[in-house]
Structure 1
């Protein structure tokens, strides 16, 4: 075991006052080391964040707020509030990364239904998102900055903040849960909608991005009239760094992905905005 997983497991064992053993290391994300651990009876998920980040504490606060979603989201077990070694231990949500054979269209429908459930939750008191316009000097960033004051930020909901297929868990074609809640905020529903639409594009299906929005609006019973403006905000955030997301997609089994393919798909989508 490398130093980081070993350190996370030791911290988690101390938090729970019993020894945990490593079962697996999850590879679908970059901002936390995520482990599956076992105490001899039950399995737990251990997430360790970089030192001096408050993500573990923030995620613990969010999990207490969304606990009404039951087994569909992680349940808090323990958290280390020491920012020198931020670690959180939760229950394991059943499911796995989406099968590579699962079509983006099927992913789109399940993600839309999940997002409706999330957006029904109260985000009052959480930090707002977006907090500021995207930075940068690309044409997209400059457009996003110009359009910043035109965004409709009324009617805030609880937003996940990183709503893509790799933060959902699946059994066959069904979504069984949503994880990685450290970035949850209070903000417009367009934040999550645009982020998920962009993910479906990166999976290779702009058509699925349209299906996702249509299904969300059908379940919501209303149109999201400013979705293009939110798509621009998401595009501006992705423009300078989409290649760095390659490990995330490889980590959920999308081995066909390359940095060049991500760039090609993003640029093609952005040209339509």
Structure 2
């Protein structure tokens, strides 16, 4: 850290930031020579198998985004192989704002999220990031207790189909409310605006539908299935382009919904730690089942 501070600066405080799953995140307050302070953020991957790849992706994405219209952090330093740190780490600038996971004001935030994602997909980098990775298969899906067995079996059959043809776009790959910062006062949720998009470790090249599907699933689990279904509409209203055929759209939406079945416990725990204490694993499973069933009813 000291090698990346200016002369006379020192770390005066470290604060753990909650809500993440794969990385330990700390806000570091830096005391400056003139008696003031500034903040940096340190992301550390502790015993994470793909840390080197993820940190290289994030460093590349932040370099690409510098000077763009997307409000992303600035890269300060990266140590993907833990040559200097105890664990692989990335140091970046601190952005104003906070994540907002509450139900109140979601009707205002969804169009903002859609416009921001469309702006990310509109970027045309001179050098493409690596191709997207989607590991979930029909055999790894974890069907929730009490789920609609017929709907889940049909959904699993959907992702057994060949991958649809697509036009590549620059993807965030984990675009969802937990990685978007808002300038939002609890007393004025309708006045919210986005101040930053963080966690670019999954930056990839692939179909816009995949990013839209991931945000849709997260909204469905956080706020209810109707908001998951609404997000794709909001994305198109914002100028984003999705697959033309309903079956192709269904493929990507279902793929992400089923992928979430493998992470329900981790995701719900992180949301409870962030203040959504009512989001038990069971409730999130019920919402996931309702969302997957709604997708099959609407597009299957």
With the shorter chain as reference, the TM-score category is: 0.7 to 0.9
Counterparts of 1:1-273 in structure 2, within 5 Å, are 12-16=1-5, 19-40=10-31, 41-51=37-47, 53-54=51-52, 55-69=54-68, 72-83=71-82, 85-98=87-100, 100=102, 102-122=104-124, 124-130=127-133, 134=137, 136-138=139-141, 139=153, 142-147=156-161, 149-152=162-165, 154-172=166-184, 173-220=192-239, 222=241, 224-225=243-244, 226-272=248-294, 273=296
Post-superposition Cα deviations, 1:70-112, rounded to whole Å, max 9, x if no partner, equal 6811001111243462111111111001162533322211110
Kept after mapping to 2: 8 A contact 1:76/1:89: yes
Kept after mapping to 2: 8 A contact 1:159/1:184: yes
Kept after mapping to 2: 8 A contact 1:33/1:49: yes
CA gap of 1:126–1:132, structure 2 versus 1, over 3 A, is same
Kept after mapping to 2: 8 A contact 1:96/1:169: yes
Other-structure match for 1:9: none
Give 1 or 2 for the bigger CA radius of gyration.
2
- What is the alpha-carbon root mean square deviation over aligned residues? 2.4
Is 200-209 or 34-43 further displaced after alignment?
A: 200-209
Q: Distance in 1 between matches of 2:272 and 2:138?
A: 27
Give me the TM-score of the superposition, normalised by structure 2: 0.78
Q: Distance in 2 between matches of 1:37 and 1:135?
A: 42
Could you tell me how far 1:135 is from its partner in structure 2?
5.5
Give me the TM-score of the superposition, normalised by structure 1: 0.85
Q: Distance in 2 between matches of 1:197 and 1:78?
A: 32
Runs of 4+ in 1 over 4 A off after TM superposition: none
Structure 1: gaps (5+ residues): 1-11
Could you tell me how far 1:271 is from its partner in structure 2?
1.4
CA gap of 1:72–1:205, structure 2 versus 1, over 3 A, is same
Post-superposition Cα deviations, 1:154-183, rounded to whole Å, max 9, x if no partner, equal 211111111110100011122221100011
Q: Distance in 2 between matches of 1:137 and 1:89?
A: 34
Structure 2: gaps (5+ residues): 32-36, 142-152, 185-191
